[in-house]
Amino acid sequence: MLANRIRRSLLVAVTVATMPISGAALAQTPDHPADNSAQFPTSHDLRQMTTAGSYLAARHASVERDAASAAAFYRSALRTDPKNNELLDRAFISSLAEGDIDEAVKLADRALKIDPNNRVARLVLGVHDLKQKKYASSLRNVNQSVRGPITDLIATLIGSWALYGSGDVKNAVSNIDKLAGPEWYPIFKDLHAGMILDAAGREKDAGVRFERAYKLDDSALRVMDAYGRWLSRNKSPTAAGEIYQAFDKKLPRHPLIEAALRETNAGKKLPPLVESPQAGAAEALYGIGASLTRRGGEDLALVYLQLALYLQTDHALALLSLGDLYESVKKPQMAIKVYERVPADSPLKRNAQIQLATDLDATDRSDEAIKILKTVTTEDPKDLDALMALGNIERGRKKFADCVGTYSKGIDALTGTEKNRWVYYYFRGICEERSKQWPKAEADMKQALELQPEQPHVLNYLGYSWIDQGINLDEAMGMIKRAVDQRPDDGYIVDSLGWAYFRIGNYDDAVKTLERAIELKPEDPTINDHLGDAYWRVGRKLEAQFQWAHARDMKPDPDDLPKIEAKIANGLPDPATPAAASVEKKKEDGKGG
């Protein structure tokens, strides 16, 4: 894919010396989560702090990847020490990472008075000038921002859009054509040259560029979309529909493709992908930024995506990429804010709603998440992605009766072509088992194995459940062992094997296996609880007490806590007596809980 082609140049780009983003890139600090009622730091907070205090607070915010707080603290420190170049540089980068481009522009002006060769400041001013339609100034600034393959490409594309904005289409295209570089350059060059020619009304020349880019990579969404739109206007909607249908086979049900197919099937012509210099430059920044996300270049990707959104605030794909970036660095609070910005009329709004719900659940706002997803699934009862997301949240929140119904709706919506059909049966089986509907759960687990033979998580869950009930013991133990063979480093699955040994009375093997599970997942309360039980049975009672105490201190499920405390006080009853400790069934991925 296109993203893989630029990976080798990523290290070059990330080493741009003028970008000491360090950690001041991403989100709210844990102590000050974002909400609608308060902001941190407030102006009162800042007034109370010394220069040193503001600097230390900014550094802490940077470590926490809280660009907004870092920027506020650095700017506060800079006001009391305005000649401090390090504070200026950090305030500039943090403001840029936060997305406060207007503030970053002010700081960039100051930075360039100190260092006229500051490439990031030049890029920011070039983008700002382009937005203000100061095309000559934009071109001068971006031409001074180059260094390395990625920044050279960005500067050339933005510069070419500035030339187009000034009316110089010929030099805009030749500027792109003259650029030489890595093997992944041509697709960007042809795409943007085609979009400039298309915007300038030179449809035939644009078609040549789009077709060439499409042949280079027909799986690149924006390349395919630009070509399809051109075909709808210059050939026929039917010809465009064929392009979209071919892409749909590679990536089914993409909202942008579905929207385009509806239009072309109705015989409609589609407008160009971009129709202004600002939108063209935003597309360039988005294209590179999205490719860098999750490939070790989050800081650089963040800058490009924020600049893209500065030029085009409603760029839905850039918003989704930015939200995905925040998720990749485990900052769901910031992702929530981004997904909320996706325009209501965008075909991608539904994607944003699904991700928004996932992040709301991650921040313990599951009721809001469920409400959003129920709205999405009401509007489209066969939306498999939304149904899966809703079922997963309900399952994670132990609403097992609800998730049975949700996964059932997903199963009813399956067409039979999906590769992951087994997951719906597996997850529904978990919810059925947890809501005490074992015959249905067993049938779903068997169906999941028919669809995906030897799937380790299904083998583990079904095998464990059989052993827990004292049935099909040989087959069940074989299934769990095959699961462990496939996932020897999965602590939860190894725990299942150890607990299976315990349930059949093989305590020595239970100890050995559960000790291995603890090495893999030392922080899991259930595995520690299981090991305590096994130690007790082999006479290692002090160690058993230690493991139970450890499990108690790890915040086990509320239902398990009194049982663990009872074992700490009284130990285990005689093996001939029904076990005092209830056995928690295995959840998703074999995890006990």
Q: DSSP string of 352-410? A: HHHHHHHHHHHTT-HHHHHHHHHHHHHH-TT-HHHHHHHHHHHHHTT-HHHHHHHHHHH
Look at residue 411 in the predicted model and tell me its pLDDT.
Answer: 97
Give the pLDDT mean for 223-244: 97
**CATH, domain 456-590, list 1.10.10.10, 3.30.1300.30, 1.25.40.10, 3.30.1280.10:** 1.25.40.10
What CA dihedral angle connects 72, 74, 77 and 80, to 10 degrees? -80
CA atoms within 13 A on the CB side of 127: 31
590 pLDDT higher than 60: no
Amino acid at 331: K
pLDDT at 576: 59
- What's the average model confidence in pLDDT over 263-277? 96
Higher confidence at residue 67 or residue 345? 345
Evaluate whether 350 touches 386 at the Cβ level (below 8 Å): yes
Cα–Cα distance measured from residue 393 to residue 57, given in angstroms and rounded to the nearest whole number: 36
- For residue 214, give every residue at least 6 positions away whose Cβ sits within 8 Å of its Cβ, in sequence order, or none: 223, 224, 227, 243
Convert the pLDDT of each residue in 325-335 to its tens digit: 999 888 999 99
Residue 294 scores a pLDDT above 80:
no
Give the tokens for residue 479. 């299934």
Task: Give the separation between CA 232 and CA 44, rounded to whole angstroms.
Answer: 57
Of 54-68, 214-228, 271-285, the poorest mean pLDDT is in 54-68
Model pLDDT for residues 102-141, shown as the tens digit of each residue: 999 999 999 999 999 999 999 999 999 999 999 999 999 9
Rounded Cα gap, residues 416 and 249, in angstroms: 15
Residue 48 confidence (pLDDT): 60
Token pair listed for 530:
């299981």
The residue whose two tokens read 């020595």 is 508
Considering 27-31, 290-294, 357-361, the range whose residues carry the highest mean pLDDT is: 357-361
Q: What is the mean pLDDT of residues 560-588?
A: 70
The overall average pLDDT reported for the chain is 88
pLDDT confidence tier of residue 174, bands split at 50, 70 and 90: very high
Coil/strand/helix, residue 423: helix
Nearest alpha-carbon partner for 191 in 207, 170, 213, 219: 213
Give the per-residue pLDDT at 187: 96
Total residue length of the chain: 593
- 24 or 431, greater pLDDT: 431
The whole-angstrom separation of Cα 531 and Cα 520 is 13
What contacts 24+ positions apart, CB below 8 Å, involve 44-47? 46/72, 46/73, 46/76
CA atoms within 13 A on the CB side of 5: 16
For 160, the enclosing helix (H) or strand (E) is: helix 149-165
More confident residue, 592 or 365: 365
pLDDT surpassing 50 at residue 396: yes
Q: Which residues contact 353 (CB under 8 A, 6 or more apart)?
A: 339, 372, 373, 375, 376, 386
Is the pLDDT confidence value at 283 over 70?
Answer: yes
How far the first Cα of the chain sits from its last, in Å, is 39
Block residue for tokens 């496939």: 486
Instruction: Say whether pLDDT at 384 is over 80.
Output: yes
448 near 565, Cβ under 8 Å? no
User: Between 349-362 and 316-328, two packed helices, what is the crossing angle to 10 degrees?
Assistant: 20
Q: Are 94 and 24 in contact (CB under 8 A)?
A: yes
Kindly give, in sequence order, each residue whose CB lies less than 8 Å from that of residue 292, ignoring residues fewer than 6 positions away.
6, 10, 13, 150, 298, 300, 301, 304
pLDDT for position 497: 95
Beta strands in 240-393 (DSSP E): none
Distance CA 560, CA 578 (A): 17
Distance CA(319)–CA(321), nearest Å, equals 5
pLDDT cut 70: percent of the chain above it: 88
Cis ω before 41 (30° cut-off from 0): yes
> 135 near 163, Cβ under 8 Å?
yes
The two three-digit tokens of residue 199, written as one number: 């915007």
One-character DSSP codes across 540-563? -HHHHHHHHHHHHHT---TTTHHH
CA contacts within 13 A on the Cβ side of 453? 0
Mean pLDDT computed over 461-484: 93
Looking at residue 296, its pLDDT comes to 64
The residue among 534 and 46 whose pLDDT is bigger is 534
Is residue 81 within 8 A of residue 51, CB to CB? The reply is yes
The model's pTM is 0.85
Q: What is the pLDDT of residue 175?
A: 96
Question: How many CA within 13 A on the CB side of residue 52?
Answer: 0
Contact 503, 582 (CB under 8 A): no
Per-residue pLDDT, 587: 39
Look at residue 47 in the predicted model and tell me its pLDDT: 63
Task: Give the pair of three-digit tokens for residue 381.
Answer: 């009862």
Q: What is the pLDDT of residue 329?
A: 85
pLDDT at site 507: 96
- Strand runs labelled E in 161-246: none
Q: With a cut of 60, say whether residue 588 has pLDDT above it.
A: no
146-155, 308-317, 396-405: which has the minimum mean pLDDT? 146-155
The structure tokens listed for 210 are 């789009």
**Helix, strand, coil shares of the chain as percentages rounded to 5?**
70, 0, 30
